[in-house]
Amino acid sequence: MEGKDNHFALAIDIGGSKVAYALIDIQGRLLGSIDKRAVPFYENGVASSEGLIAQMHPYIEQARLRPGTFHGIGMGLCANVDLRTGMVVLAPNLHWRQLPFATLVTEAYQLPVFISMDVRLAALGEAVWGGAKGVKNFAWVTIGTGYGGYFFLDGKLYDGRHAFAGNFGHIPFDEVTGYPCGCGLKGCIETYVSGPAIARTGQAAVDASRSPTLKRLAGKGRVTCESVFQAEAAGDPAAIEIIEQVIRLVAISVAGLVNTLDLDMIVLGGGVTHGSPDFVSRLDRRSRCFLMTEEAKRELVVIKESFPNSTLFGAAANVFMSQGVFKC
């Protein structure tokens, strides 16, 4: 790594509503701060690829003017992406299907662009520079707007056949009476544990007059995921029950991954895991109740994500690795 201190990449994380930008160097250090912008949408609800490409311009100029070697753009999307072609196969939140986004960005800026599913990059970031560095088998698990993750097995990312692995949030929990899921199925576990699901369950408690604390916190508005955690911290019985159910279901799901794949570690990220200071430790304890082997109960390590945005760090690592600047 000697002599490569001033090598860097522009990392971009395109979520369902926000885009995060950061310059990250080859040591995994953030150069400056993480900037957040809104995803530009057309009136018909489809994300504007032209708007996104225009939004990148000042960040690319900043990178080009910076001393050192600018290696290109690493991009994570909340989408299924064809790694060979950079084609966005399906991005439900952006309403994109078969969009050659990496090619469009390359053509606009004449720069190398490396694109991947956000959860895949988050796992990579944790493996290269985070708490999972040196760990052979782990799952990145994120609970936020959705619930899912990615796997790092036998010392490398597990991509499966299409690099669409890690959609364990879409295993149906109750396909008969469950809620419709964004994926088209019904009663997926995501519809019980995601941020919007927590808000929906909290709202139902208010509507049923079961939670005066949540009603007060919501005021004239709707219940949010944050207010359910606030009500829980204030001792509200309905909110305590809601979060307890979320922890139980995620614990069953995560323990299922460990029982299936014999993992060393679970790395937890996403907004819901920040809902209360001890969320991860509670989930850790509960998950162990559902582990099958004594070895897993004794040896499994459950940690919080190592970065403010692990996808950005993985996006930068992906640039350096794809260009052969370093190996994982």
- We find the least distance from the C-beta atom of residue 97 to Zn ion, in angstroms, to be 17
Instruction: Confirm if 195 and 271 have CB atoms less than 8 A apart.
Output: yes
The packing angle between helices 49-65 and 101-109, to 10°, is 50
d(CA 245, CA 215): 20
Q: Which amino acid is at 175?
A: E
Nearer to Zn ion, 51 or 160 (CB): 160
Give me the residue label for tokens 């922890």.
247
Q: What are phi and psi of 266, to 5 degrees?
A: -120, 130
Q: Nearest to residue 190, comparing CAs of 149, 141, 146, 226? A: 146
- We find the least distance from the C-beta atom of residue 183 to Zn ion, in angstroms, to be 3
- We find the least distance from the C-beta atom of residue 118 to Zn ion, in angstroms, to be 17
Nearer to Zn ion, 170 or 215 (CB): 170
Q: Does 148 bind Zn ion (CB under 5 A)?
A: no
| Site size toward Zn ion, by CB under 5 A | 5
Residues 166-195: x/- map of binding to Zn ion (CB under 5 A)? ----x----------x-x-x--x-------
Which residue stretch of 3-11, 53-61, 162-170, 293-301 sits at the interface with Zn ion (rule: CB under 5 A)?
Answer: 162-170
Nearer to Zn ion, 70 or 168 (CB): 168
- We find the least distance from the C-beta atom of residue 145 to Zn ion, in angstroms, to be 13
Instruction: Confirm if 74 and 11 have CB atoms less than 8 A apart.
Output: yes
Nearer to Zn ion, 19 or 181 (CB): 181
Strand, coil or helix: 197: helix
- We find the least distance from the C-beta atom of residue 191 to Zn ion, in angstroms, to be 7
Nearer to Zn ion, 31 or 171 (CB): 171
Nearer to Zn ion, 5 or 174 (CB): 174
Q: How far is CA 28 from CA 59, 90, 172, 228, 277, in A?
A: 18, 29, 37, 35, 26
- We find the least distance from the C-beta atom of residue 162 to Zn ion, in angstroms, to be 17
Instruction: Confirm if 66 and 8 have CB atoms less than 8 A apart.
Output: yes
Residues that bind Zn ion (CB under 5 A): 170, 181, 183, 185, 188
